[in-house]
Structure 1
Amino acid sequence: MAGSMKGLEANWKQRADGARARAEAAINELQIKGAKINFNSVAKTSGVSKSFLYDDRTTRERIEQLRLAEVCKEMNNRARYDKTSKSKDVIIAAKDRRIAKLEEENKKTKS
């Protein structure tokens, strides 16, 4: 009986290693494509179950880290866009004040 357990454990370890390798290959493929990396996309690409991805600590940490990096990059892009739109608003307001001042001077010179 102990021999059969060793065989089962070896088979389980081999299957887990294969699933881990497929998940890693899927992560690399998604990175190359520039696709979003999350548990669902890795599971679909690799053919590995989501429960395996959540249960396997190293794979889970890697996916969470990459997902967080994507979110941070997206937030930085939004912040950069907000800064440029705010600076445009400031420039437009300054030009409006300058136009109003010049129009006032123009009225004074005409009178």
Structure 2
Amino acid sequence: MSNFNRNEQLKALHKKRKAITQEKVDKAIQRLIKAQKPINFNSVANESGLTKATLYNNKDIRERIETLRHQQSQVPTPSQVKREMDENNKDAIIASLKRKIKRLEEENKELREKVKINYADIYKQI
């Protein structure tokens, strides 16, 4: 037992725990990215099973989460993209609907004329 050095054992244990924590965070972030969920301290803490304090206190993890959170805020969400597309395509949609209305009105007018002719034929037969 003379070879037992408490400081070295504590350093090794600390290094091992730090590696396990880093691995949990990496896997949690990968799952969040695959699920297209927002990356923030709450979501990473919930997904990894670690406390938020652990995430905030570890400088490397904190910087990574803040960077990813900032990157996600820069990318437009699908609803924002859809809204922009709707605004850009609004005039084209309106023009298309106007053409459809005009075509249906003409068709309706033709059908009314045919109905008048058919009523006239029926009236002549009576």
TM-score computed with the length of structure 1 as normaliser: 0.64
Distance in 2 of aligned mates of 1:79 and 1:31:
19
Q: Name 1:24's counterpart in structure 2.
A: 26
Q: Name 1:34's counterpart in structure 2.
A: 36
Give the unaligned 5+ runs of structure 1. 96-111
- What amino acid is the match of 1:59? I
Give the match's secondary structure for 2:62: helix
Bigger Rg, structure 1 or 2: 2
- What amino acid is the match of 2:38? K
- What amino acid is the match of 1:70? Q
Q: Name 2:71's counterpart in structure 1.
A: 69
Aligned-pair Cα RMSD in Å: 2.8
- What amino acid is the match of 1:55? N
**Which of 55, 59, 62 is the matching residue for 1:60?**
62
- The number of residue pairs the alignment matches comes to 90
Name the % identity. 31
Judging by fraction of residues, say which structure has more helix: 1
Give the match's secondary structure for 1:74: coil
State the shift of 1:85 in Å. 3.1
Of residues 21-30 and 57-66 in structure 1, the stretch that sits farther from structure 2 once superposed is 57-66
- What amino acid is the match of 1:73? V
Give the match's secondary structure for 1:8: helix
TM-score computed with the length of structure 2 as normaliser: 0.58
Give the unaligned 5+ runs of structure 2. 96-126
**Which of 74, 85, 88 is the matching residue for 2:87?**
85
Greater RCO (Cα-Cα under 8 Å, separation 6 or more): 1
